[in-house]
A and B are shown apart, each in its own frame.
Chain A
Amino acid sequence: MIRLSGVNHFIGGTQILHDISLELPKGGITALIGPNGAGKSTLLSLIARLTPLKQGEITVDTLKIGACADRDLAKVLAIMAQSTHVSARLRVRELVSFGRYPWHRGRPTAADDALIEAALARFELLEIGDRFLDEVSGGQRQRAFVAMAFAQDTDYLLLDEPLNNLDIAGARGLMRLLREMADNDGKTILIVLHDINYAAAFADRIVALKQGRIAALGTPAEVVSNSLLRDVFGTDAEISHIDGRPFVMV
C-alpha cells in the first residue's frame, strides 16, 4: 500500500500540493489525472523520491520515503520518468539489463540474465534487443523502459505520462501491457495520464487533482462525469457510456 499523509509541496513560494492524504491499496492500476499544472507529476515524483519530500509523510509498504535506503526502495518500487532521455548510446538489451541492478549491484548472475531475456521476450523486444535505443521507434523505446522496470521485479511501478509522443497503436499497446502486468503479475501501477479516455478505459481507480488538491477519487464510472469535466477540467464535453465504461466525446 502507498500511503500519503499531509503532503504539502512548494516550488519557489508557490504551493503546488495542498495537504494531500491518500491511500492506494495494493494491486490494480491507479490513474492520476487533472488539468495541466494540477500537481500530478509533482505528486508522482514525490512518491518516486525524484523530488525531495519536505512536508508530510509517504510510505510504500513499510518503507518511508526520505528515510529508507534508496537501494531498498528500488527493490519495491520502479519508476519510469517523463523524460527517458539517455545520453549514453545503449542497446535495448543493455537498457533492460539495468533493471536487475538494484538486486545484483554490478555482479549479475545467470538468474539475472534469464530474467532479462524473459523480460525482453515478454515485451516483444527480442528481435530488436541488439539495436540502439535511438534507432527504434518511440513505442519500442517506451516498451524497453517498461521492460526494464519489469525486470526490476518490484511490486510497485510508477509511470509519468508514458503515452507522450506515442501514436494510438503505441499508446494502446503500452496500456495493454500495463493492464497485463497488473492482472497477471499482481503489480500495483500508478500512472499519470493526460488523456481521460485512456484512464477510463484501462485504470481500476482514478485520482483527479485540481490545483494541488484531490478533487475526485474512485472507479472510472464514479469519477468521470459531466461535473468532473466542468469543475476540474473546465470544459463541457459530453460523456457517453459503452459497456459501462465512461467515454468523453472530444
Chain B
Amino acid sequence: MAKRLILLSTLLLIACAIYIGLGAEGAWSFLLPYRATKLASMLLVGVGLSVATVLFQTITANRILTPSVMGFDALYVMVLTLLVHVLGGVGYASLPAALLFAMNVAGMTALGMLLFGLLQKGARGDIMRLVLTGLILGILLRSVTEFLQRMIDPAEFQMVQSVSFARFTQVEPSLLLLSALVTLPALALAWRMRTRLDVLALGDATATGLGENPKRGQAQALVLICILVAASTALVGPMSGGGGSFFGLIVTALAHVITPSERHRILLPSAALTGCIILVGGQTVMERLLDLTTPLTVVIELIGGILFLVLLVKRKRA
C-alpha cells in the first residue's frame, strides 16, 4: 500500500510540474504566481472534497453517496441566483469577494448544522433519515433556484450560469488563504479520526461494543464534512451542475481500486491524492492541450455519471 501511495504522490508531482511548466510563455515573475495560485486552489479543493466524501461514505456506510446529496451545492447556487436577482449582475459583481466567501461558508455550515440537529434529536434519529432530509432539502432549494432563474433577466441568467460551475480560472489569492485557514485544520482533525473511522465502519453495534460511540463519531465527521465542502464550494463554486457531484464518487471509487484497503490511514491519503491528480491532470488537459474553456466539472460530471451507473449495476452487496 505504501508503494502505491508513493506512486500516486509521484504522479501528482508530475501533473503539477506539467501544469506549471507546459506552454509557459512570457515572464515567469507573472506566470508563476498566477499558475501557482490556481494550482494551490485545485489541490485544496481536491483534498477537501475527497476527504469529505470518504468521511461521508464511511458514516453512511454507502459507497455511492457523496456529500453533495445534502444540498450544499444547491444552496450555493440559490444564494448566487438570489443575489444576482436582487442586486443585479453589476451589483453582484461589485460585492467584495471575502464577504461572499464568508456568507457562503456560514450559509452552508448553517445548513449542515440544521441537518446535524436532526441527527441528534431523538434516540431513533439515524444517519439515513438525515441523508434523506438533506436530499429533499436539496431538491427544494433547486426548485426555488429554478423559479428565480425563470424570472431573471436573460443576460444575468448567463452570468449565474457561468459561475454555477466550479472554475479554477479566477481565484483570489486572499480567498485562497481564507479557504486554506478553514480547510487545513479540518483535514488535520479528519486525519486524527482515522482509526475511529475504521471502527465506525464496522457498524453501530460493533463500534459501540468496542467503546466508540457511533452517534458522537458521526456528528463529528458531519461537522468536518460541512466545513470542508463549504470551504471548497465557496472558493471555486459547486463541483456539480445539479444532480449531485460525481467528483467525490469517481475519486473514492478509484481510490478503492488503487489501494484496496478499508483502513482510513490508507484510504484518506489515497483519495486525497487521486482527487488532486484528477483535478490538476484534467485541468491541464482541458486548458493546455485542448485549449478549451469548458469547465472541467462538466467533463467530470459526464464521466462520473457513467461510472455511477457502472457501480450501481456491478454492485453485488447491498
A241 interfacial contact with B, CB 8 Å? no
User: Is there contact, CB below 8 Å, between A81 and B206?
Assistant: yes
Q: At the interface with chain B, which of A97-105, A169-177, A205-213? A: A97-105
A79-B208, A134-B317 are known contacts. Are A87 and B203 too (CB-CB below 8 A)? yes
A81-B205, A94-B262, A98-B199 are known contacts. Are A74 and B211 too (CB-CB below 8 A)? yes
A43 interfacial contact with B, CB 8 Å? no
User: Is there contact, CB below 8 Å, between A50 and B205?
Assistant: yes
Contact with A along B186-211 (1 / 0, CB 8 A): 00000000111011011111101111
User: Is there contact, CB below 8 Å, between B123 and A52?
Assistant: yes
User: Is there contact, CB below 8 Å, between A48 and B202?
Assistant: no
Residue total for B at the interface (Cβ-Cβ under 8 A): 23
The B-contacting residues of A in range 98-119, CB under 8 angstroms, are 98-99, 101-102, 105-106
Interfacial chain A residues near B210, Cβ < 8 Å: 74, 98-99, 101-102, 152
> Distance (Å) between the CB of B285 and the closest chain A CB?
32
CA distance A52 to B213 in the complex (A): 12
Binding site secondary structure of chain B: loop
Interfacial chain A residues near B199, Cβ < 8 Å: 98, 101
Contact of B205 among A77, A79, A89 (CB under 8 A): A79
CA distance A85 to B61 in the complex (A): 11
> Distance (Å) between the CB of B318 and the closest chain A CB?
9
CA distance A50 to B207 in the complex (A): 10
User: Is there contact, CB below 8 Å, between B195 and A87?
Assistant: no
Contact with A along B90-130 (1 / 0, CB 8 A): 00000000000000000000000000000000010000000
Find the A residue at minimum CB distance from B316: A134
The A-contacting residues of B in range 192-247, CB under 8 angstroms, are 194-196, 198-199, 201-206, 208-213
Find the B residue at minimum CB distance from A74: B211
Find the B residue at minimum CB distance from A89: B262
A88-B262, A90-B262, A106-B196 are known contacts. Are A83 and B208 too (CB-CB below 8 A)? no
User: Is there contact, CB below 8 Å, between B195 and A105?
Assistant: yes
A231 interfacial contact with B, CB 8 Å? no
Find the A residue at minimum CB distance from B63: A87
A84 interfacial contact with B, CB 8 Å? yes
> Distance (Å) between the CB of B302 and the closest chain A CB?
28
CA distance A49 to B202 in the complex (A): 17
Contact of B208 among A48, A72, A98, A149 (CB under 8 A): A48
A78-B209, A98-B210 are known contacts. Are A87 and B196 too (CB-CB below 8 A)? no
Find the B residue at minimum CB distance from A104: B195
Find the A residue at minimum CB distance from B193: A106
CA distance A87 to B63 in the complex (A): 9
User: Is there contact, CB below 8 Å, between A70 and B317?
Assistant: no
User: Is there contact, CB below 8 Å, between B211 and A86?
Assistant: no
Interfacial chain B residues near A78, Cβ < 8 Å: 209
A73 interfacial contact with B, CB 8 Å? yes
CA distance A77 to B208 in the complex (A): 11
Find the A residue at minimum CB distance from B262: A88
Interfacial chain A residues near B123, Cβ < 8 Å: 51-52
A75 interfacial contact with B, CB 8 Å? yes
CA distance A86 to B207 in the complex (A): 11
A86-B201, A88-B201 are known contacts. Are A102 and B211 too (CB-CB below 8 A)? yes
> Distance (Å) between the CB of A183 and the closest chain B CB?
23
Contact of B195 among A50, A71, A95, A101 (CB under 8 A): A101
CA distance A246 to B204 in the complex (A): 37
Interface centre among B194, B195, B317 (most CB of A within 10 A): B195
Interfacial chain A residues near B194, Cβ < 8 Å: 106
Kindly list 16 other residue pairs between chains A and B, CB separation below 8 angstroms, not including A98-B198, A98-B206, A101-B211: A48-B209, A49-B208, A50-B204, A51-B123, A52-B123, A73-B211, A80-B209, A81-B205, A86-B203, A87-B62, A87-B201, A88-B201, A88-B202, A98-B199, A102-B211, A149-B209
User: Can you report 27 A-B residue pairs in the complex whose CB atoms are below 8 A from each other?
Assistant: A48-B205, A48-B209, A49-B208, A52-B123, A69-B211, A70-B211, A73-B211, A75-B211, A77-B209, A79-B205, A79-B208, A79-B209, A80-B209, A81-B209, A82-B205, A83-B203, A84-B206, A86-B203, A90-B262, A94-B262, A95-B202, A99-B210, A101-B195, A106-B194, A106-B196, A149-B209, A152-B210
The 3 closest A-B CB pairs, nearest first, are A74-B211, A106-B195, A81-B205
